[in-house]
Amino acid sequence: MKTLCYLVLLFSIPTAFGQQFFVRDSAVAFQKRLDSEYADKKQSPLTEQDRKKFNGLHYYPVDGKYFVLATLTRTQNEIPFAMPTTTSRKPMYVKYGELTFTLDGKACRLNVYQSIDLAKSVKYKNYLFLPFLDLTSGEESYGGGRYIDLAIPEGDIIAIDFNRAYNPYCAYNNKYSCPITPRENTLDVAIEAGVKKFHD
């Protein structure tokens, strides 16, 4: 939710070396916060059995190449749709725009979505939802895809830090209802960053 702040800070760092440390520190802080939440009985999505033996999630090593600046193309006149989930629940979303960037020499494109309900909230009115699949999905990472939280930028450039990619709650506990990643958001590259599959 603090993407805009991170983007401002990034442009204030004059060297690639400084950027590398910025990305690492930001991602490590994110991982520590995630582990803390999952260990907390009041916040954890884990089953009681898994939480009692929880020692932290499994992550790929933080890698600065997975911090990319994407171009956001706002798509106009999009019709809200009911996004399928792992249950019968179908929350309303709208395609907010398309993100384009280059990774490992390949041109990549992902759709980014906005929740109709969350957009009505002052706290989450700028929240954007980025679900994605990649070549690690179902292998080293969760087969249902992973999520990244973003915020609407002031311009047409948006920072995506795949080191902050996380699993939906239903990857840990089937009592949750999670949006199913649209197949059009499949990347033809391996995103070896962020949270891996959950291991008992």
CA 173 from centre of chain: 19
Would you say residue 193 lies in a domain?
no
Q: In this structure, is residue 124 part of a structural domain? A: yes
**Is 110 within a domain?**
yes
CA distances to 26, 35, 99, 140 from 64, rounded to whole Å, are: 11, 21, 19, 19
In a domain, 18, yes or no: yes
| pLDDT by position in tens, the chain (length 200) | 443 343 333 333 334 444 566 678 899 999 999 999 999 999 999 999 999 999 999 999 999 999 999 999 999 999 999 999 999 999 999 999 999 999 999 999 999 999 999 999 999 999 999 999 999 999 999 999 999 999 999 999 999 999 999 999 999 999 999 999 999 999 999 999 999 999 74
Query: Is position 194 within any domain?
Result: no
In a domain, 113, yes or no: yes
The total domain count for the chain is: 1
Whole-Å CA distances, 87 to 1, 133, 179 = 26, 19, 9
Kindly state whether residue 192 falls inside one of the protein's structural domains: no
Q: In which residue are the tokens 């950027």 written? A: 19
144 domain-assigned: yes
Give exposure, 148-180, as e/b (b: 16+ Cβ within 10 Å).
bbbbbbeeeebbbbbbbbbbbbbbbeeeeebbe
Domain extent, residue 81, equals 3-185
Q: What is the pTM of this model?
A: 0.88
